[in-house]
């Protein structure tokens, strides 16, 4: 009887642990400097469009987002960068991937990107390599804000996975310099 009770208790503990992560995408935390090292391309730009499509075998749905590049910090970027990620809606079929990015035309973003194929890129660290840019209303100076995608658990992140980049208030150029390892990045912490 005791063995059965211990087995039942272990099963309950396992189910509770699993349920905490069941609706989440587990990702290894990447610091801003790790994103900078891993990425082939780092750009600032605006979302132009976003559309979902079936793959060639009609087994997966992907979303293609086009970013008009305003400034390149690393790599050689074309005038428009194409970002591909899994998930999206085609007709009446919706594929949801927890933590997948949502793109809104007109949003200004800082992107850390890796090659996806010969013509497109993916966001480095799944969703960790996209930062919203907000501007000071008086000066127009750009600041970064780290996204908080729903359904993502960051393994190994400081502060229990909640903080993965400086909060709003860090100037864009200072954050990029820090991420790319330039000595001019003072006051940016991880």
What is residue 150's DSSP assignment? T
H or E stretch at 40: none
The alpha-carbon radius of gyration of the chain (Å, integer) is 19
Tens-digit pLDDT profile for residues 5-58:
444 444 434 333 443 445 567 777 888 999 999 999 999 999 999 999 999 999
Q: What local confidence, expressed as pLDDT, does residue 127 receive?
A: 87
Q: How far is CA 30 from the centre of its chain?
A: 10
Tens digits of pLDDT across the chain (190 residues): 555 444 444 443 433 344 344 556 777 788 899 999 999 999 999 999 999 999 999 999 999 999 999 999 999 999 999 999 999 999 999 998 887 888 999 999 999 999 999 999 999 998 899 999 999 899 999 998 766 666 667 666 676 444 444 445 689 999 999 999 875 444 444 4
Domain residue extents for the chain: 24-179
Identify which of 100, 78, 80, 79 has the alpha carbon closest to the alpha carbon of residue 89.
Answer: 100
Its pTM stands at: 0.76
Kindly state the tokens that stand for 129: 């390599």
Residue 80 in contact with residue 68, Cβ under 8 Å?
yes
For the chain, how are helix, strand and coil distributed in percent, rounded to 5?
20, 40, 40
CATH architecture for residues 24-179: Beta Barrel (2.40)
């Amino acid at each position: 009887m005791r063995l059965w009770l211990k087995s039942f208790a272990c099963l309950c503990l396992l189910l509770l642990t699993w349920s905490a992560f069941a609706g989440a995408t587990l990702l290894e935390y990447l610091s801003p400097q790790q994103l900078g090292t891993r990425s082939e391309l780092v750009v600032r730009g605006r979302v132009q469009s976003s559309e979902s499509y079936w793959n060639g075998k009609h087994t997966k749905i992907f979303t293609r987002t086009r970013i008009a590049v305003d400034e390149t910090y690393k790599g050689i970027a074309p005038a428009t960068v194409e970002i591909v990620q899994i998930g999206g809606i085609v007709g009446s079929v919706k594929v949801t991937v927890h933590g997948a990015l949502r793109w809104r035309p007109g949003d200004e973003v800082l992107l850390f990107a890796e090659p996806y194929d010969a013509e497109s890129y993916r966001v480095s660290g799944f969703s960790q390599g996209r930062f919203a840019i907000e501007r000071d209303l008086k000066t127009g100076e750009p600041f970064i804000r780290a996204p908080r995608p729903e359904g993502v658990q960051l393994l190994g992140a400081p502060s229990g996975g909640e903080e993965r980049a400086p909060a709003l208030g860090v100037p864009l150029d200072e954050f990029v310099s820090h991420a790319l390892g330039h000595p001019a990045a003072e006051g940016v912490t991880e």
